[in-house]
Amino acid sequence: MNPAAPEPDAETVHAMESQARSRLNVACELHTMGHFEDAVSRAYYAAFHAASLLFYCTGRTFSSHAQLVGAFNKEFVFPGLLPGEMARSLRDLYELRQTADYDVHNSIAQSESEGALKRAETFVNQAFAYSRTSYPKLFEPME
């Protein structure tokens, strides 16, 4: 975690939200083209950016993916703020992305890619819904 995180601002929140949505859209396009490993990777990054936005809204950032994934359950699920399925989805997407990006001996099946897309979409939507409800001032329309 970065202890010197800046004060959250609406411009950055909107940019982070756009980044997550963009990754999700690209994941869907890659899946449609049959690029299942790349689709899984982008699906994970959509969820990662949505989780990063959640932490950013609280004034925290992380320097590694593993730190963010590990902190998600502790900070949002354990206290009952978000459902446990979200922590499982983030962890599973992270692990699947590791396989997709680094394991040359295993490939990602179409069904795994479809599952990853569904989980990422659900994660992103739930994360943004919680963020908008909990930090409404950060989501006000920009001028």
Q: Which residues contact 26 (CB under 8 A, 6 or more apart)?
A: 42
Give residue limits of the domains in the chain.
10-135
Assigned superfamily of 10-135? Nucleotidyltransferases  domain 2 (1.20.120.330)
Distance (Å, whole) CA 68 – CA 52? 7
Q: What is the pLDDT along the chain (143 residues), one digit of tens a residue?
A: 444 556 899 999 999 999 999 999 999 999 999 999 999 999 999 999 999 999 999 999 888 999 999 899 999 999 999 999 999 999 999 999 999 989 888 889 999 999 999 999 999 999 999 999 999 999 887 66
In sequence order, which ranges of the chain are alpha helices (DSSP H)? 10-32, 36-57, 65-72, 84-102, 110-134
